[in-house]
Amino acid sequence: LSYDHFGNENDPDSFSIIVDDGALSDGPETVDIRVTNVNDPPKVTLNAGITISEGDVDAVIDSTVLNTTDSDTDADKLVYTVLVAPAHGLLQVAQTTLGVNGHFTQEDIDNGLVNYDHDGTEDSTDEFTFEVQDAQPLTDGPLPFTITILPVNDAPTISTNTGFAVDEGGATTIEKVMLESTDSDNAPNELTYVLTTDAEYGWVRLDGVDLYENDTFTQDDVDSGLVTYAHQGTEEPSDSFEVTVQDLEPLTEGPVVVNVTVNPQNDAPEITTHTGFAVDEGSETTIDTALLEATDSDNMPSELTYVLTTDAEYGLIRLDGVDLYENDTFTQSDVDSGLVTYAHQGTEEPTDSFEVTVQDLEPLTDGPVVMNVTINAVNDAPVIVTHTGFAVDEGSETTIDTSMLEATDSDNTASELTYVLTSGAMHGSVRLDGADLYENETFTQDDVDSGLVTYAHQG
């Protein structure tokens, strides 16, 4: 005769017996059984895991997904021990993070105090491993608790924005080490930058084409070296532009400012004005800024030097009254101060010119350029260049020719040069084509040149 207990906690137990020899019987008699309680191990009766969205926090692990029962032990004495912590999030009880060997109770679960925070990574599952024990302690486990993670489209992140440097007037490639966006859900060609604010002193270019506000390029364009910045060559020491980045949904980040440091470069001077000028024949005029000017954003006027590379042919360039010749110099400051002049020599040519280059301190140069001079003609007085006198035989006549009497005037022909007989000859006659001339009568140089003027002695 044996007795097998069902394992429940009822105490006591009993059964009744009757003794029967086939003819007679005795009983029934009650047999009492005293059951001595034995501690039962806890049993995880529910371990369903949870499903959350990527990046979720405070996902509650309650008794509908994780439950342990033990007829000998109250819920606050059923202790879960973390054997392996979750890899992609945090397991917490009452907002305190649990690591390996961290503890929580079934009562904590029943009260909704146990939760899981996902770290936002792209893994589709996470888990932690636990065992549960009662006060004895008897245990159940180890067991995994599985967390299923539903993917969520993440916004892109501009992970690198170092800015960059460029030489004044130069261009540089905007590389991945200067500007990079990442998104675990998208490839580089799916991450689009929008130019929200243009650069002020340069251009952002895609494969050589200028981009303007609201134009776009991709991270793949950056990775492929197709995005550049070209500086305009101005003197400002910095520039900037702004971009946002978006994925296919689109989710965005930004705008962010991309800063540009401009390395100054010495610019060549530029002759911005060389109008030429007019001067009266035989006179002098000032060459001022309205006639000749060079500019250079890197240099003062006193640092811009003109070199006279070709002299004027019919005049002189002067600096503060001193004649200049080929390879002599003057500055823009001299021009600005009115110290540079041109003095015409008085010849009759209608034009003149000279050539200059300009250089800065490096020196970088511009030129040569031709400065044209227009000569305003001035009527010159005639000059009697020959009056030798002559000999004549008594009572005879001789021609007064050019070797004896000649006047010149660069402004007039021989027929326009008129001699006036201011005093007659005492012992003869001056004749024009055989006719006697008297005081205040005239003849021309052309008459002399033509042999029409004679002197006749009275004898």
> Do residues 136 and 165 both lie within one domain?
no
- Of 314, 343, 376, which marks where a domain is finished? 376
> Is the Cβ–Cβ distance between 327 and 237 less than 8 Å?
no
Q: Tokens standing for 354? A: 């000279």
Confirm whether 180 is domain-assigned: yes
> Do residues 364 and 395 both lie within one domain?
no
> Do residues 367 and 277 both lie within one domain?
yes
Output the domain CATH number for residue 73. Answer: 2.60.40.10
Confirm whether 96 is domain-assigned: yes
Confirm whether 248 is domain-assigned: yes
Q: What is the pLDDT of residues 18-66, one digit of tens each?
A: 877 778 777 787 766 665 566 679 999 999 999 999 999 999 999 999 9
On the question of pLDDT at 10 being above 60, the answer is no
What is the value of pTM for the model shown? 0.57
> Do residues 205 and 222 both lie within one domain?
yes
Where on the phi/psi map is residue 236: left (φ > 0), alpha (ψ -120 to 50), or beta? Answer: beta
How many structural domains comprise the chain?
Answer: 4
Alpha helices (H) in 49-154, listed in sequence order: 106-110
> Do residues 245 and 296 both lie within one domain?
no
> Do residues 110 and 194 both lie within one domain?
no
Confirm whether 2 is domain-assigned: no
Confirm whether 27 is domain-assigned: no
Q: What is the pLDDT of residues 213-267, one digit of tens each?
A: 999 999 999 999 999 999 999 989 999 999 999 999 999 999 999 999 999 998 8
> Do residues 287 and 253 both lie within one domain?
no
Measured CA to CA in angstroms, residue 218 lies from 164, 192, 222, 258, 357 at distances of 18, 4, 7, 15, 48
Of the two residues 36 and 448, the one the predictor is more confident about is 448
- Of 127, 150, 173, which marks where a domain is finished? 150
Confirm whether 395 is domain-assigned: yes
Give residue 256's domain range: 157-263
On the question of pLDDT at 5 being above 60, the answer is no
- Of 131, 150, 169, which marks where a domain is finished? 150
Q: What is the mean pLDDT of residues 388-392?
A: 95
On the question of pLDDT at 386 being above 90, the answer is yes
> Do residues 337 and 395 both lie within one domain?
no
Mention every residue, 6+ apart, whose C-beta is less than 8 A from residue 218: 188, 189, 190, 191, 192, 193
On the question of pLDDT at 97 being above 70, the answer is yes
